[in-house]
């Protein structure tokens, strides 16, 4: 029987009993708030699609326990979505795009095996994320194992191999390597796919950062946070085609692409780098570091069987533990629960001309402590310095400069579009670098701010002592304690 042109050979009822879900006529239906109805075909022309088999494994189900936005769930109650649904969404979009190319551009000679592997790459691209997602690989691991060149993409490859071996999934080694390369976004292994560059730009586009991973997370994050996105990912899927081995877009979609990058920038500016979210992130990192010697958290990245259980639930395991080795970690987690958080002190948006002088090497916690005033007794431990880069996905570069377009009159040739032909309101600079200062001791907020501004004034040769943007009152702790007492009194009276 054919389902939408795809041959259905789904006759084995044992497979249906093994894999749960809504099955109908050889396909599985997943209801999704973003893509509405995701249809997964179990077989493509008598070949196993493997998508359902991959989903119904402990390695993939682990993603249910990883919040997509990590610690931001402590700030935004709507940020409860997980890597699980995002990965299914990316697989769906990957399949939608590559199948459309196969259907509308038969000269590309896209095979069913290529379709299958692209969809599986979308499904598995986030298998390697650790507890609280990017907090683990961007913040914790560099401190826990400095010098280790590790990323969650590498862990995704490790977990992919573990998934296939542990569940006895019969796949060719060439297909497995192809999926790994699709996740990495480049053909690293010598294979027959080396001259098919467009396939490697679907899940993780290293050329210009326009890929289906971004399509899904921008729309999914905005939806769950109650924000409205002004760009339309569905149009980009429809108005794209392969020209000279590269994914190109209709010229009328250039502004839509700028809107996509601007939406991403806005999410980073308003949500992903939220001050309170960042404070909680810093506390989670401290809690993990305090527990690392006992729980061997950082060592888990070497063993997929250990890494399988490294999820957001680790903080619950720490909380319920009674051992003395985890006492400090438990204290920090309790402070998160009771909102006794690290305090945001100050920030400085680095001007372009100072970017080379103000970086992680030139401004440290100890540097700021050295400029303390009024015998404040500041120590390096009191101060946390963070650097936040917010851009259009390609650091200082305009990613649209690396995107090629086609016209309605000639879809066999591609060209670049200068931003001057789009709008004069498009930015001339595409990256902000922000220095933020936090303190672990709220009673030292004003002292830390004074020290930071004194140090910054020395570096910038500018008087920043009376900057009105952020100003900590001298009696801040008194105000906080008073507010707590008032709230406590109100609770009693109620």
Q: Could you read off the pLDDT of 54-94 as tens digits, one per residue?
A: 999 999 999 999 999 999 999 999 999 999 999 999 999 99
Strand partners, 346: 437
Predicted model pTM: 0.89
For position 458, what pLDDT does the model report? Answer: 87
pLDDT tens figures, 342-397: 999 999 999 998 888 888 888 999 999 999 887 889 999 999 999 999 999 999 99
Residues 349, 432: contact at Cβ < 8 Å? yes
* Domain at 218, CATH number: 1.10.3210.10
pLDDT at 405: 98
Task: Kindly state whether residues 250 and 379 are assigned to the same domain.
Answer: no
Same domain, 149 and 293: yes
Question: Per-residue pLDDT for 5 more than 50?
Answer: no
Kindly state the average pLDDT of the residues 8-29: 53
**Both 245 and 206 in a single domain?**
yes
- The yes-or-no verdict on residue 193 having pLDDT over 80 is no
282 and 365 share one domain: no
Pair (253, 285) in one structural domain = yes
In a domain, 125, yes or no: yes
Same domain for 193 and 319, yes or no, is: yes
**Would you state the pLDDT for residue 98?**
98
Q: Which of 315, 340, 365 is a domain's end point? A: 340
- The string over 382-421, giving b where at least 16 C-beta atoms fall within 10 Å of a residue's C-beta and e elsewhere, is bbbbbebebbbbbeeebbbeebbbbeeeeeeebeebebee
CATH code (residue 365): 3.30.70
At 110 the pLDDT is: 95
In a domain, 4, yes or no: no
CA distance 86 to 93: 11
- Domain presence at residue 403: no
Average pLDDT for residues 17-43, to the nearest whole number?
A: 75
Mean pLDDT of 396-424: 96
Other beta carbons within 10 Å of 361: 6
Split into its structural domains, the chain has a count of 2
189 and 297 in a single domain? The answer is: yes
Residues 435 and 355 in one domain: yes
Shared domain check, 290 and 155 = yes
Q: What percent of the chain has pLDDT over 90?
A: 77
Choose the final residue of a domain: 306, 340, 374: 340
Give long-range contacts, CB 8 A cutoff, 24+ apart: 478-481: 480/442
Q: How confident is the model at residue 481 (pLDDT cuts 50, 70, 90)?
A: low
* Confidence (pLDDT) at 7: 33
Terminal-to-terminal C-alpha distance of the chain: 67
Asked if residue 493 has pLDDT above 70, the reply is: no
- Higher per-residue pLDDT: 101 or 477: 101
- CA gap 188, 205 in Å, rounded: 14
Indicate whether 236 belongs to any domain: yes
Same domain, 365 and 322: no
d(C-alpha 438, C-alpha 385), whole Å = 7
Instruction: Lowest mean pLDDT of 50-64, 152-166, 422-436, 479-493, name the range.
Output: 479-493
pLDDT at 22 over 80: no
Q: Is the predicted pLDDT of residue 116 greater than 60, yes or no?
A: yes
Same domain, 239 and 328: yes
Residue 68 lies in a domain: yes
pLDDT at 357: 86
Q: What is the dihedral of CA 401, 406, 409, 412, to 10 degrees?
A: 130
Residue of 86, 92, 152, 250 marked active site? 152
Active site residue 152: yes
Structural domain range at position 437: 342-392+430-494
Indicate if the pLDDT at residue 468 is higher than 70: no
283 and 208 share a domain?
A: yes
Arithmetic mean of pLDDT over the chain: 89
| pLDDT for 8 | 36
Distant-in-sequence, close-in-space partners of 135: CB < 8 Å, separation ≥ 6:
70, 71, 281, 284, 285
Mean pLDDT, range 20-35, rounded to an integer: 75
Q: pLDDT per residue over 174-192, tens digit each?
A: 999 999 999 999 988 676 7
Is residue 44 predicted with pLDDT exceeding 70? no
26 domain-assigned: no
Pairing mode of beta strands 246-250, 405-406: parallel
Domain presence at residue 88? yes
Any domain includes 203: yes
């Amino acid at each position: 029987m054919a389902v939408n042109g795809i041959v259905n050979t789904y006759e084995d009822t044992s497979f249906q009993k093994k894999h749960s879900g809504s099955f109908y006529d050889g396909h599985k239906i997943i209801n999704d708030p973003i893509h509405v109805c995701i249809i997964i075909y179990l077989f493509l022309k008598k070949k196993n699609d493997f998508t359902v088999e991959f989903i119904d494994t402990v390695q993939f189900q682990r993603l249910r326990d990883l919040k997509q936005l990590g610690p931001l769930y402590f700030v935004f109650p709507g940020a409860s979505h997980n890597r699980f649904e995002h990965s299914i969404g990316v697989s769906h979009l990957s399949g939608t795009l590559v199948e459309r190319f196969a259907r509308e551009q038969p000269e590309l000679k896209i095979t069913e095996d290529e379709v299958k592997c692209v969809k599986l790459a979308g499904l598995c691209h986030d298998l390697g994320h650790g507890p609280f997602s990017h907090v683990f690989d961007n913040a914790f691991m560099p401190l826990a194992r400095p010098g280790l060149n590790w990323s969650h993409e590498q862990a995704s490859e490790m977990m992919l191999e573990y998934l296939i071996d542990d569940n006895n999934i019969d796949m060719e080694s060439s297909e497995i390597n192809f999926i790994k390369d699709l996740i990495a976004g480049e053909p690293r292994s010598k294979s027959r796919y080396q001259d098919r560059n467009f396939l490697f730009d679907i899940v993780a586009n290293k050329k210009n950062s326009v890929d289906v991973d971004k399509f899904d997370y921008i729309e999914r994050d905005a939806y769950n946070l109650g924000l409205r996105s002004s760009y339309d990912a569905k149009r980009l899927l429809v108005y794209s085609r392969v020209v000279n081995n590269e994914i190109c877009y209709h010229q009328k979609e250039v502004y839509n692409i700028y809107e996509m990058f601007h939406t991403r920038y806005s999410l980073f500016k308003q949500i992903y780098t939220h001050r309170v979210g960042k404070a909680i992130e810093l506390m989670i990192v401290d809690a993990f570091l305090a527990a690392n010697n006992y729980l061997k958290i950082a060592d888990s990245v070497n063993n997929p069987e250990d890494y399988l259980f490294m999820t957001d639930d680790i903080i619950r395991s720490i909380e319920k533990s009674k051992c003395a080795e985890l006492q400090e970690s438990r204290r920090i987690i309790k402070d998160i629960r009771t909102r006794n958080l690290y305090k945001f002190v100050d920030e400085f948006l680095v001007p372009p001309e100072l970017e080379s002088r103000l970086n992680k090497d030139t401004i440290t916690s100890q540097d700021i402590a050295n400029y303390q005033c009024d015998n404040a007794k500041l120590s390096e431990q009191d101060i946390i310095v963070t650097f936040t880069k917010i851009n259009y996905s390609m650091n200082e570069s305009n990613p649209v400069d690396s995107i090629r377009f086609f016209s309605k009159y000639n879809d066999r040739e591609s060209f670049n579009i200068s931003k001057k032909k789009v709008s004069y309101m498009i930015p001339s600079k595409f990256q902000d670098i922000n220095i933020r200062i936090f303190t672990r001791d709220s009673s030292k907020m004003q002292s830390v701010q004074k020290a930071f501004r004194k140090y910054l004034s020395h570096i910038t040769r500018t008087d920043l002592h009376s900057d009105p943007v952020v100003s900590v009152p001298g009696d801040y702790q008194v105000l906080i304690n008073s507010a707590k007492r008032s709230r406590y009194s109100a609770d009693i009276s109620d």
